[in-house]
Amino acid sequence: MTRTEKRTVDGMRIFFTGVGGQGTLLATQITGEAALQEGLPVSMSEIHGMAQRGGVVESSIVVGDLWSPTISDGDADVMVAFEPLEGLRALPKCHAGTIALVNKTPIVPFTVAVGQGIYPPVEEIVQSIARVLERVVTLDATAMAREAGNEKATNIVMIGVLAGLALLPVSRDSWIRAIKSVLPSRLHDLNLKAFEQGFREGTAAAKAA
């Protein structure tokens, strides 16, 4: 990847990437709703791959006085990668000042599972991302979601980290209201627990920066 120069932006462009079944679009929706709760202008876009077969799913949120909802190469200020290899593949969307959140739990593609390919070591993937970006926050969000009650809440742990890092001018209360407004009430307890775990992780990472 060609390393591009860090740019000054008037808003924030957040790029989400994962594979089908990880709740990438749901996390994007909640993030957008949280920004709306603060009265911020928000635009969203989605790119669906072969989501039903574990294919890539990408989405983006643009917050602030920016016109286009899409994120071109070199434009993402924040990358949220729900799967490490997808994070590596999304590097062209980033610039040198991008902050990346990367879930370290891999989802092995079908071709690797049947012996037709090799999944790179996760630490090598993370190192490759860290070499070209200003900052990378890694965590085992899937394990944290499992501790919260269900690994399907991995996406909520990740947005909890995003909230805890305070990269967006969105209060914790607005994030919680967004989760409650998007998810059915029967899922609130589990997902709020997952969010709080991620929020603590993000807050600690922000203090350590």
**Does any domain span residue 2?**
no
State the total domains in the chain: 1
CATH of residue 155: 3.40.920.10
- Which pLDDT value is given to residue 4? 42
**Does any domain span residue 6?**
no
Q: Which domain holds residue 105?
A: 12-208
> How sure is the predictor about 5, in pLDDT bands with cuts at 50, 70 and 90?
very low
Cβ neighbors of 155 (< 8 A, separation 6 or more) are 18, 22, 23, 24, 26, 27, 82
- Which pLDDT value is given to residue 163? 98
Task: Please determine, for residue 55, whether its predicted confidence score (pLDDT) is greater than 70.
Answer: yes
**Does any domain span residue 3?**
no
Q: Is 126 left (phi over 0), alpha (psi -120 to 50) or beta?
A: alpha
**Does any domain span residue 64?**
yes
Task: Please determine, for residue 95, whether its predicted confidence score (pLDDT) is greater than 70.
Answer: yes
Which segment of 50-64, 108-122, 190-204 scores lowest on mean pLDDT? 50-64
For residue 62, give Cα distances in angstroms to 28, 42, 71, 143. 11, 6, 8, 29
87-112 average pLDDT score: 92
160-188 pLDDT, tens per residue?
999 999 999 999 999 999 999 999 999 99
**Does any domain span residue 41?**
yes
**Does any domain span residue 124?**
yes
**Does any domain span residue 5?**
no
- Which pLDDT value is given to residue 46? 75
> How sure is the predictor about 7, in pLDDT bands with cuts at 50, 70 and 90?
very low
Which pTM value belongs to this model? 0.90
Task: Please determine, for residue 154, whether its predicted confidence score (pLDDT) is greater than 80.
Answer: yes
**Does any domain span residue 149?**
yes
> How sure is the predictor about 116, in pLDDT bands with cuts at 50, 70 and 90?
confident
